[in-house]
Structure 1
Amino acid sequence: MVAVYNFLYTLLVFLYLPVFVLTNRKKGYRSDIRERFVLYSDSSKENTLWFHCASIGELNVAYPVIERLKEKHNILITVSSPRGKDFALKKYPYATVRSVPLDLPFLIKRFVDIYRPSALIITEGEFWLNLVVKTSERIPVLSINTRVSPSSFSFYRRFTPIYRKILNSFSRFLVRSEKDLKYLSFFVPEDKLVLCGDLKFVSSSQKKDLFLDKKGKKVIVAGSTHDPEEKVLITIYKNLRLKYPDLRLIIAPRHLERLDQIKKLLEEERLSFSLRTETDRLDSDVYIIDTIGELSGIYRYADVVFVGGTIAPVGGHNILEPAVEGKPVVIGNHYEKIEDLYRFLKKFNAVFSVNDGKEMEKLIDRLLEEGFKPELDISKYQEKILNCYIKNIEEYLV
């Protein structure tokens, strides 16, 4: 099975490589072919800890762990995407950042020989055969914030022999939820599994320190919205501002290419609007976030937050960022992708799901009138999660 995998992987690499190079060139990214074939030399450092974070999402999730461990260890980070590498170089200026080698045995071996790390820590669900198996022959390999979706579990079961080999090569899995624990227990013994909780609870505290001149106004923030969610929120806003004259609506569309569509909708509804890139004052009816990476910082100015992709049948976006800020989070009934987080936060009345716009309007009205006091002490929960990860990682670094 391993020989078949290596043969097919090698074949696909040489077939796909020209496409990969051309696609990234068009996007303005370097493909780093020399790095992927480990065609370089570098000096190793003592106490090097290797983190593999496939892309930007994983780089953000691993941030609190890397920050805690960088005090005692030199940090080596590998990424899968050119965009992820650019991001890692900016976010982790103290780390050595490389594109991950192609998943071939001799390349993985050469990479480990160059850097001589004390352990490999893989974020979430990057279960590449040689990356895991070959590295585990030399050093401990751990998985943090391990995520196994139902579709991934079905795929792993279809190829049980090879995934059992991969997964049993890990020294330990530090998983985010009971569901992930259950899926992994099909392949590996329970003594390799530790439930620590979702690292996103910790990493979601990262945000830009930005300024917004709220001037005492009540604010609804609609984050990561899709069509037709803006229309629903605008209707609710127009109805509620009759009761709350100083009410303002902030819209942060998931995709900035929809800005013209949203502006046209606001013009049709005869609402004034302004853009984040133009002002930091909430003088217009609607304030549009037309920037990238600022939404998490905007949430702290909200009285009520709606998170998108939940009326539109997308499955939901990040409800942790506003919850970490202690804001009441309102969503629709399409939350399949964030179900575990929804159920956890629901226990503390930190998130509310509604079936339609009328329900949402009544709920937002109540939250604006009565105010909101969070029942979950996020800071204590964050520390508990992070300590679990650090403690279990450090057991393998002695």
Structure 2
Amino acid sequence: MYFTYTFILALGLVLTFPYYLVRFRKYLPTMADRLGSLKIPQLRRAIWVHAVSVGEVKAVEQLLERLRQQFPEKPLVVSTATPTGQQVAHARSDIVDHTFYFPIDIPWCVRRAVERVDPEMVIIAETEIWPNFLRACRRRGVRVVMINGRISDRSFSRYRLVRRWLRRVFEDYTMIGMQSERDRQRIEAIGADPRKVTVLGNLKYDAVASTRNVENALASLLIRWNPLWIAASTMPGEEELVLDAFGQVLNMHPGLKLLIAPRHAERFEAVAEIIKGRGLEMVRRTQLISGNSPVLLLDTIGELAALFQYATVVFIGGSLVPTGGHNVLEPARQSKPIVFGPHMENFRDMVRLFLETNAAIQIQSANQLAPAISNLLSNPQHASDLGRAAFAVVQQNTGATDRVLQILEPVEAPR
């Protein structure tokens, strides 16, 4: 089965490489790392933490700080799969010794990477299942721990088709830490050994709040922009819906401003054209001159979390289109009222907690977006109550990092 998996993966990479070469040329500088040729010195007995992108890196940030304190003499490295994740990880060079891109799951690629890092332990955030990588670690006697694991409805259906093989793959994990009881049940149903599985909670509740300083010119603008609606991490097909709603809300709240933050940097230009096509005046974050325009396009990476403090109301993108939604915790930490759509499948348990405690508003269609935003702007007490409840949910669900460190102690004991 490993041969079949590797053959299909390699064939897929060969067939799609010309497309990605043209469509995502920015990824070319990352290919050396992905092929296993890491631009780092030869390490010895490192602790390797893998976090796919920005959200996962932020989720493990506190864990990284604690690992640095607990194992000051060991090399601490972080791998990611995306350039944005790499930027965030590299920004923590005060505690992380090296950062690089995770290798493609082809045997010779992962073997070269594992040999270069020479890890004593690998910690994988979220449910990243790379059979050849796990196999390479097992052969070198490397302990591999999954943390913050979750299995979505869509992934569960796919994994069940290959659960017999996954049973063998899961044997290569030393420990498997899941976010919730449902996630634990699901990973056991697709082959994980129940003796290795435990529920640790969601590390994203422990994520370090943004301490990034907001540039003076931007801060001065946003302080004056009151009320301010932040549409965070929008996805294709969503900006049009947000702009439609914005136009409607302006009739009731003519002073409203909109900050729109596309999820992916490669869409900045397209979103700018969408805004211009609506006849709206717009200012881009990278071309900030004046604050007379009603719309600000946040065309930078890494600033959004620090800007939630200025929001009057926040809409979470990726939720009006079927892409699974995005993390609500960053605006919740700022006690902001949060609105999201029906498609929050990737944050199922988190959303349940927020809705059960009246800490957020879920709408079922784009037609409900304008009324929901307008209602919060018209009822500041209701908005304040939502924000306080959201902050309380965050406070009540921290502690996953401590639980992870507790399970790492026995893992480390035999070294």
Q: TM-score, normalising length from structure 1?
A: 0.82
1:363 paired with 2:375, answer yes
Q: 2:334 aligns with which of 325, 346, 349?
A: 325
Q: Which residue of 1 aligns with 2:392?
A: 377
* Partner Cα separation in structure 2 for residue 7 and residue 288 of structure 1: 43
Q: Which residue of 1 aligns with 2:204?
A: 200
The change in CA–CA distance for 1:357 and 1:21 in structure 2 (over 3 A counts) is closer
* Partner Cα separation in structure 2 for residue 74 and residue 81 of structure 1: 22
The one-letter code of the counterpart of 1:394 is E
The change in CA–CA distance for 1:285 and 1:5 in structure 2 (over 3 A counts) is closer
Q: Which residue of 1 aligns with 2:275?
A: 262
* Partner Cα separation in structure 1 for residue 320 and residue 290 of structure 2: 29
Q: Which residue of 2 aligns with 1:30?
A: 29
The change in CA–CA distance for 1:30 and 1:192 in structure 2 (over 3 A counts) is same
* Partner Cα separation in structure 1 for residue 130 and residue 356 of structure 2: 36
The change in CA–CA distance for 1:123 and 1:280 in structure 2 (over 3 A counts) is farther
1:135 paired with 2:140, answer no
The change in CA–CA distance for 1:154 and 1:312 in structure 2 (over 3 A counts) is closer
Cα RMSD (Å) of the superposition?
Answer: 3.4
Structure 2 unmatched runs, 5+: none
Q: TM-score, normalising length from structure 2?
A: 0.79
The change in CA–CA distance for 1:222 and 1:280 in structure 2 (over 3 A counts) is farther
* Partner Cα separation in structure 2 for residue 4 and residue 313 of structure 1: 31
Q: Deviations over 1:313-345 (max 9, x none)?
A: 544333222112111101233433433321121
* Counterpart secondary structure, 1:68: helix
The change in CA–CA distance for 1:312 and 1:394 in structure 2 (over 3 A counts) is same
The one-letter code of the counterpart of 1:392 is I
The answer as to whether partners of 1:29 and 1:82 remain within 8 angstroms in 2 is no
User: Of Structure 1 and Structure 2, which has the larger fraction of its residues in helix?
Assistant: 2
Q: 1:65 aligns with which of 52, 63, 66?
A: 63
1:217 paired with 2:223, answer no
Q: Which residue of 1 aligns with 2:193?
A: 189
The one-letter code of the counterpart of 1:122 is I
* Partner Cα separation in structure 1 for residue 323 and residue 42 of structure 2: 46
1:125 paired with 2:137, answer no
1:304 paired with 2:316, answer no
The change in CA–CA distance for 1:394 and 1:383 in structure 2 (over 3 A counts) is farther
The change in CA–CA distance for 1:86 and 1:247 in structure 2 (over 3 A counts) is closer
Deviation of the 1:7 alpha carbon: 5.0
Q: Deviations over 1:254-288 (max 9, x none)?
A: 44221132134254xxxx65443344875554444
1:339 paired with 2:348, answer yes
The answer as to whether partners of 1:29 and 1:83 remain within 8 angstroms in 2 is no
The change in CA–CA distance for 1:323 and 1:124 in structure 2 (over 3 A counts) is same
The change in CA–CA distance for 1:23 and 1:382 in structure 2 (over 3 A counts) is farther
Q: Which residue of 2 aligns with 1:395?
A: 410
Q: Which residue of 2 aligns with 1:52?
A: 50
Deviation of the 1:144 alpha carbon: 1.3
Deviation of the 1:9 alpha carbon: 4.8
Counterparts of residues 149-164 of structure 1 (less than 5 Å): 149-164=152-167
* Partner Cα separation in structure 1 for residue 353 and residue 194 of structure 2: 23
The one-letter code of the counterpart of 2:380 is L
Q: Which has the larger radius of gyration?
A: 1
* Partner Cα separation in structure 1 for residue 5 and residue 262 of structure 2: 41
Range with bigger deviation, 313-322 or 190-199: 313-322
- Percent sequence identity is 25
The one-letter code of the counterpart of 1:208 is R
Deviation of the 1:64 alpha carbon: 2.5
Range with bigger deviation, 151-160 or 78-87: 78-87
The one-letter code of the counterpart of 2:336 is K
Aligned residues: 388
Deviation of the 1:100 alpha carbon: 3.7
Counterparts of residues 69-88 of structure 1 (less than 5 Å): 69-71=67-69, 72=71, 73-80=74-81, 88=89
* Partner Cα separation in structure 2 for residue 41 and residue 233 of structure 1: 48
Q: 1:146 aligns with which of 140, 144, 149?
A: 149
